[in-house]
Amino acid sequence: MADTIFGKITRGEIPTEFLYEDEHCVVIRDIQPQAPTHVLIIPRKPISRLVDSQPEDQTLLGHLLIVAGKVADQLGVGDAFRLVINNGEGGGQTVFHLHLHILAGRDMAEGQLASGLN
């Protein structure tokens, strides 16, 4: 897949504050937050879209969910957050390096699926 800004961020080529990092992923603040808390969990492995993930990515995908819960907790929003993955242009994806959005700090129950991103 083509390199993206998230590839450069995960490799440390663009100085970006990591709220969390481990050998598999990094967590950064979204540059255009859609909620008071809006962070991105980005695997170091560049997978273009969720649908491009393979059976061998199963452990990684599970890890990203575990990290999401931990990071939400650390940010003080562990009781009320939304986790979003946009898949493909039609799904609102703009950066083609798989990532998870954590959104919190506003009424996430309002608007249900319509609220959120894009």
Catalytic positions, written as ranges: 99
Q: Single out the residue of 26, 28, 41, 77 in contact with ligand AMP (rule: CB under 6 A).
A: 28
Residue 52 in tokens: 């491009």
Binding mask 80-109 for ligand AMP (x = CB under 6 A): ------x-----xxxx--------------
Residue 116 in tokens: 């959120």
Return d(Cα 67, Cα 43) in angstroms, integer.
Answer: 11
# residues contacting ligand AMP (CB under 6 A) = 13
Does residue 31 interact with ligand AMP by CB under 6 A? yes
29-37, 47-55, 64-72, 105-113 -> range binding ligand AMP (CB under 6 A): 29-37
Does residue 50 interact with ligand AMP by CB under 6 A? no
Return d(Cα 26, Cα 18) in angstroms, integer.
Answer: 6
Residue whose token pair is 């080529």: 13
Return d(Cα 22, Cα 6) in angstroms, integer.
Answer: 15
